[in-house]
């Protein structure tokens, strides 16, 4: 297993006390290379936020059955677009979750596990749960007459928010233990998001959907408990100190 070791990291200012003194003096003597302030930057952001459009839209239902439902038959007078948007968001995240565990499995195969860490079977089981969740949301959308292949605004937002998680899991210099941090963030979001989606489904009178989603919520609680356990084991192992088995690159 790749270990965290002391190495030739020169990113900190303390590496060279002489140069750092000169650098501080220079920074204090010379004004910023471009004019403006934080307030100016905020003003530009506000201008962009007001002037830009929205991040996509929810497509209208594709089927006649869906249109009847969207018109309010089963949606109890609420805006169908909101439920479809949040379903699309969940769909996107569960798909990413599957890919996240696939990437972690590759690291497991490259390095092997560690004491108190995940087994291959556990990682596979969670990956399979995430695929099932994806399929579950897919079916729920189809029952509403919505198109699960459409990228909804919520899917865009969560895709962007979680893009760093996949980068962590796929980066080969980040070891298995470090990659588990991405699982923690994903599973925390998974837990909260399912709970909110269940509340939304109930508010829309979709009791069957809510009941099905509660099963996924149960899975997510187990996922989170496992990831927390693995991370704690990893920390305890690292604190005890293990000899490095892989050469480390300088930062
Ligand atoms: Fe999930
Ligand atoms: Fe999960």
| DSSP string across 10-79 | --SGGG-HHHHHHHHHHHHHSPPSS---HHHHHHHHHHHHHHS--S--PPPPSSHHHHHIIIIITTTTS-
Give the closest ligand to the alpha carbon of residue 222.
2
Taken in order 230, 231, 237, 240, the sign of the CA dihedral is: negative
Taken in order 169, 172, 174, 175, the sign of the CA dihedral is: positive
Report yes or no on 12 lying in a domain.
no
Domain total in the chain: 1
CA of residue 161 to ligand 2 center, whole Å: 16
CA of residue 238 to ligand 1 center, whole Å: 29
Both structure tokens of 167: 């980068």
Report yes or no on 95 lying in a domain.
yes
Please determine, for residue 117, whether its predicted confidence score (pLDDT) is greater than 70: yes
Report yes or no on 92 lying in a domain.
yes
Report yes or no on 250 lying in a domain.
no
Q: CA end-to-end span of the chain, whole Å?
A: 19
Report yes or no on 247 lying in a domain.
no
Size of the chain, expressed as the number of residues it contains: 251
158-192 per-position pLDDT tens digit: 999 999 999 999 999 999 999 999 999 999 999 99
Encode burial over 28-67: b for 16+ CB neighbours within 10 A, e otherwise.
eeeeeeeeeeeeeeeeeeeeeeeeeeeebebeebeeeebe
Please determine, for residue 249, whether its predicted confidence score (pLDDT) is greater than 60: no
pLDDT band at 106 (very low <50, low <70, confident <90, very high): very high
Report yes or no on 81 lying in a domain.
yes
CA of residue 189 to ligand 1 center, whole Å: 9
Give the closest ligand to the alpha carbon of residue 215.
1
CA of residue 224 to ligand 2 center, whole Å: 7
Residue range(s) defining the domain that contains residue 27: 17-240
CA of residue 250 to ligand 1 center, whole Å: 36
CA of residue 104 to ligand 2 center, whole Å: 13
Residues with CB under 5 A from ligand 1 (ion): 94, 97, 130, 133, 190
34-45 per-position pLDDT tens digit: 888 899 999 999
Report yes or no on 6 lying in a domain.
no
Report yes or no on 138 lying in a domain.
yes
| CATH of residue 207 | 1.20.1260.10
């Amino acid at each position: 297993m790749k270990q965290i070791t002391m190495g030739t990291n020169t990113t900190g200012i303390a590496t060279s006390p002489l140069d750092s003194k000169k650098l501080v003096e220079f920074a204090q003597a010379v004004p910023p290379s471009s004019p403006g302030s934080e307030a100016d930057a905020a003003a530009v952001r506000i201008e962009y936020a007001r002037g830009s459009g929205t991040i996509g839209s929810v497509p209208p239902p594709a089927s006649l059955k869906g249109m009847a439902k969207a018109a309010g038959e089963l949606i109890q007078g609420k805006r169908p677009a909101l439920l479809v948007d949040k379903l699309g968001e969940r769909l996107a995240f569960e798909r990413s979750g599957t890919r996240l565990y696939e990437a972690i499995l590759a690291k497991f195969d490259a390095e092997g596990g560690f004491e108190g860490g995940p087994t291959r079977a556990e990682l596979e089981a969670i990956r399979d749960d995430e695929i099932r969740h994806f399929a579950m949301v897919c079916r729920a959308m189809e029952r509403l007459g919505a198109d699960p292949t459409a990228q909804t605004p919520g899917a865009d937002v969560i895709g962007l928010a979680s893009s760093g998680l996949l980068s962590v899991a796929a980066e080969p210099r980040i070891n298995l233990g470090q990659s588990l941090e991405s699982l923690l963030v994903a599973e925390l979001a998974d837990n909260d998001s399912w709970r909110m989606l269940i509340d939304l489904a109930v508010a829309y009178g979709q009791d069957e959907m809510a009941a099905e989603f509660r099963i996924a919520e149960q899975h997510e609680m187990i996922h989170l408990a496992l990831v927390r356990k693995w991370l704690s084991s990893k920390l305890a192992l690292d604190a005890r100190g293990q000899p490095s088995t892989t050469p480390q690159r300088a930062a």
